Amino acid sequence: MTVVLIKNLGEHVGEEVEIRGWLYNIRSSGKISFLIMRDGTGLVQGVLVKKEVSEELAALVGTLTQESSLILRGIVRVEERSVGGYEIQVTGMELVSGAEEYPITHKEHGVDFLAERRHLWLRTPRQNAIMRIRSEIEHAIREFFYQRDFVLADAPIITPAACEGTTTLFELDYHGEKAFLSQSGQLYNEAAAMALGRIYCFGPTFRAEKSKTRRHLMEFWMIEAEMAYFNMDDNIQLQEEMIHYVIQRVLERCKRELKTLERDVSKLEKITLPFPRISYTEAVEILKKEGVDFTWGDDFGAPHETIISNYFDAPVFVHRYPAVIKAFYMKPDPENSEVVLGADLLAPEGYGEIIGGGQRIDDLKLLEKRIAEHNLPQEAFDWYLDLRRYGSVPHSGFGLGIERTVAWLCGLEHIRETIPFPRMLHKMYP
């Protein structure tokens, strides 16, 4: 008998097939039982008429509990009214393993209760949809870069130096030496770009953020690209093409998941290229126009980003931030050294910054000066300075936070649902 995934049932109408999964729900009314099965790819209802099956099987059905693992056999029928559009006329069944009383029932549960049981929460249709969209986003990005001849150059996780400031470092003991979990693969990406031209890395990054927000994780995944001979505009154009590609892929291939999440897809469908671009100074003007008391030179907080992004239907690039609020490696604008050639991409609908990036300082002397000004240890950056000693070129890059992108595309309230096992302030169980 053919073993079939629930999502592919449509290809087997009229055939007797085998489904391997778990019992999501069961309803019985005397002579007939309705078993909703899940296998990770979808849900399907099995209909079991007691007098049509063996006594043994009829007895087994009465003992089944939610989340018992089951192998179900039966004939596939079209049934518009049924979940997924198909139904299985049950002919046979095998209990693989019974389940104890399952804590996550079909009634509403509080989010803290669910978060404590994240390992089980993942089994619900909503979480399933989110994880599938996350997977699609990751695949789409890899494909985008592959099509453009970028090399995937993985960056290390254990690092001797800070990339994004010293206040959010997770420190560890590296055989007696002080080391840190990587905040960003960027510095290594720059080395790889000088070796390979156009590269990206994709891995977990770590920030000991003291803030408990809907947008911050202690451990998150970042796609970071770095391109030799790219200026700031080349960089921005690549980013918008990547984001646009990802949106199309998700709209095309995750229709069912977006529907499960009740995502208003019209908001994603209307996003076209190019994305708007405004300077930090123009963004400050928007804030002032909206009556926000804001001083030029301060960094934007989440509420500011929301006000700015609400001005646009598409993601918006905010470029040329004041140098004082940005990282040490950002190249000053030749036309105004108070600002840098960096740009953040703010997602619409209040999802905030999803990309940080910019052009890097390529001059050795200036970079040495910045490292000193930021009180960073020169020795730890000596290898990085080699990149400016031996054939320095203009170059740019960026980092996209996967979880914030998932939150936006799925339309989620909170970042905790965007990753299988979130690491949040004071929360790392399970």
- Of 189-197, 219-227, 355-363, 400-408, the segment contacting Mg ion by CB under 5 A is 355-363
Q: How far is the CB of 96 from Mg ion (least distance, A)?
A: 47
**From candidates 128, 186, 235, 239, binder to ligand 4AD by CB under 6 A:** 186
Which tokens sit at 170?
């997770």
Range in contact with ligand 4AD (rule: CB under 6 A) among 234-242, 252-260, 376-384, 393-401:
393-401
Nearer to ligand 4AD, 37 or 242 (CB): 242
Rounded Cα distance, 401 and 409, in Å: 13
Binding status of residue 348 toward ligand 4AD by CB under 6 A: no
C-alpha–C-alpha distance, residues 133 and 357, integer Å: 24
Cβ proximity to Mg ion, 42 vs 356, nearer residue = 356
The item of Mg ion, ligand 4AD, none sharing an interface with residue 209, based on CB under 5 to 8 Å by kind, is ligand 4AD
Q: With CB under 6 A as the contact rule, which of the stretches 81-89, 106-114, 348-356, 406-414 interacts with ligand 4AD? A: 348-356
Contact 86, 44 (CB under 8 A): yes
Site string for ligand 4AD, 127-146 (x = CB under 6 A): --------------------
Contact 19, 72 (CB under 8 A): yes
Structure-token pair, residue 181: 């979990």
Q: How far is the CB of 46 from ligand 4AD (least distance, A)?
A: 41
352 DSSP β-pair partners: 347
**Contacts of ligand 4AD in 199-228 (CB under 6 A):** 207, 209, 216-217, 220, 222, 224
We find the least distance from the C-beta atom of residue 31 to ligand 4AD, in angstroms, to be 53
Note whether 133 and 257 are within 8 A (CB): yes
Quote the CA–CA distance of 79 and 14 in Å, as a whole number.
12
The one among 21, 74, 342, 356 contacting Mg ion by CB under 5 A? 356
Which one of 399, 406, 412, 419 is in contact with ligand 4AD (CB under 6 A)?
A: 399
Residue bearing tokens 């928007």: 286
Cβ neighbors of 36 (< 8 A, separation 6 or more) are: 23, 24, 25, 26, 43, 44, 45, 46, 83
> Considering only 77-85, 86-94, 258-266, 352-360, which stretch makes contact with ligand 4AD by CB under 6 A?
352-360
Task: State yes or no: residue 180 binds ligand 4AD (CB under 6 A).
Answer: no
Report the relative pairing of strands 332-333 and 171-174 from DSSP bridges.
Answer: unpaired
222 or 227: whose CB is closer to Mg ion? 222
Per-residue CA distances from 48 to 20, 60, 91, 99, 131 (Å):
16, 11, 8, 20, 31
Distance CA(246)–CA(408), nearest Å, equals 12
* 397 near Mg ion (CB under 5 A): no
For ligand 4AD, the binding residues in 141-170 under the rule CB under 6 A are 163-164
Q: How far apart are CA 108 and CA 387, in angstroms?
A: 55
Q: Which does 422 bind (CB under 5 to 8 A by kind): Mg ion, ligand 4AD, none?
A: none
- Per 3-state DSSP, what percentage of the chain is helix, strand, and coil (rounded to 5)? 35, 30, 35
**Residue from 136, 333, 403, 417 that binds ligand 4AD (CB under 6 A)?**
403
Within 10 angstroms of residue 29's Cβ, the number of other Cβ atoms is 7
Q: Is 399 near Mg ion (CB under 5 A)?
A: no
Does the protein bind ligand 4AD through residue 332 (CB under 6 A)? no
235 is a contact residue toward ligand 4AD (CB under 6 A): no
| Least separation in angstroms between CB 223 and Mg ion | 14
Write out the two tokens for 376. 């960073």
Going 239 to 243 to 248 to 249, the CA torsion angle's sign is positive
d(CA 390, CA 368): 15
Cis previous bond, 274, omega within 30:
yes
Cross-strand partners of 346: 316, 353
Residue 327 beta carbon to Mg ion: minimum distance, rounded to whole angstroms: 8
Q: How far is the CB of 116 from ligand 4AD (least distance, A)?
A: 21
Give the footprint of ligand 4AD on this chain (CB under 6 A): 163-164, 184, 186, 207, 209, 216-217, 220, 222, 224, 353-357, 397-399, 401, 403-404
Give the footprint of Mg ion on this chain (CB under 5 A): 356
